[in-house]
Amino acid sequence: MCNHLLMPHTLVSFHAHPDDEAILVGGTLRLAADAGHRVVLVFATRGDLGEVAEGVLAADERLADRREQEARSAAELLGVSRVEFLGYHDSGMAGEPTNDAPGAFAGADLEEAAARLAEILRDEHAEALTVYDAHGAYGHPDHIQVHHVGRRAAALAGTPRVYAATVSREHYLALAASMSDDVPDWAQPPDPETFDLGVTDSIITTRVDVSSVLDHKQAAMAVHASQIPEESFFLALPPDAFKVAFGLEWYIRLDETPGDPETWIF
């Protein structure tokens, strides 16, 4: 698949919270690393407002600290060479008062936040950057901010290739329809209609087949145990179903519209 990748490049992947990287682009990161490229992960926040089940954290353990460690452990599994955090706070879900709290990423000054990311892009001489689509895949305010901050940072740094990680709405509609009624609720895929998830296939420009590195992607998901329990949809699927659900990763190329559908980001 990657025989045409003769010259190593640097890929910077920008995310709102730890665990987003494993779910949305984990396979792409591992493929890039395996092909000899340098892979850098940047998180806007440490995910300090994530939901966590009782008993997961030790009595004196902060969720942000746990999620940072999970991110670093997942990065090792995905072949990532550098992990950075921009220092913002998790904004919480849309409509929560925490969206407007001091230091929350959703309310961060666009130019200031973009300058922080652009410094990393310049330092790494990044050839490609991944962000999220304009809706943040499912409307989370921090995800939407990743889209805007990432695009601005790429412009400031002169990063030539920018890809918005997204989800195929049609894929998840078909996946939900194919699930047996016997599958318990906790193992059902997210309903695109309920969560306003993903985009139509007509605007997806790039589909990356990551089936060859699914073991790495699944292991990276599992490392994020504070957010992705073993019994969740993400980890409870049998191998064949997991391949159907997560064997492709989808992008919208933002720096230009390719003439033909792409299967890789370099």
Dist. CA 109–CA 104, nearest whole Å: 10
Longest alpha-carbon distance in the chain: 55
The alpha-carbon radius of gyration of the chain (Å, integer) is: 17
Dist. CA 148–CA 9, nearest whole Å: 24
- Complete edge-to-edge strand list for the sheet that includes strand 206-209: 82-88, 38-45, 10-15, 128-132, 161-166, 248-253, 206-209
Q: What is the pLDDT of residue 4?
A: 42
Q: What is the pLDDT of residue 6?
A: 57
Mean pLDDT for 3-13 is: 77
Residue with the bigger pLDDT between 116 and 7: it is 116
Residue with the bigger pLDDT between 19 and 172: it is 19
Whether the pTM exceeds 0.75: the reply is yes
Contacts of 110 (CB under 8 A, 6+ apart): 148, 149, 152
Q: pLDDT digits over 172-208, tens only?
A: 888 877 776 656 666 667 777 777 889 999 999 999 9
Q: Determine whether 240 is exposed, middle or buried from the number of CB atoms within 10 Å of its CB (0-12, 13-18, 19+).
A: exposed
- List the domains of the chain with CATH numbers: 10-253 (3.40.50.10320)
| Alpha-helix runs per DSSP H in the chain | 20-34, 63-77, 110-124, 141-157, 169-178, 192-195, 214-223, 233-236, 239-246
Q: How would residue 1 be classed by pLDDT, with cut points 50, 70 and 90?
A: very low
- List the single range of 13-27, 67-81, 148-162, 231-245 with lowest mean pLDDT: 231-245
Q: pLDDT digits over 226-238, tens only?
A: 999 998 888 988 8
Mean pLDDT for 153-179 is: 92
Q: pLDDT digits over 92-103, tens only?
A: 999 999 999 999
Q: What is the pLDDT of residue 241?
A: 85
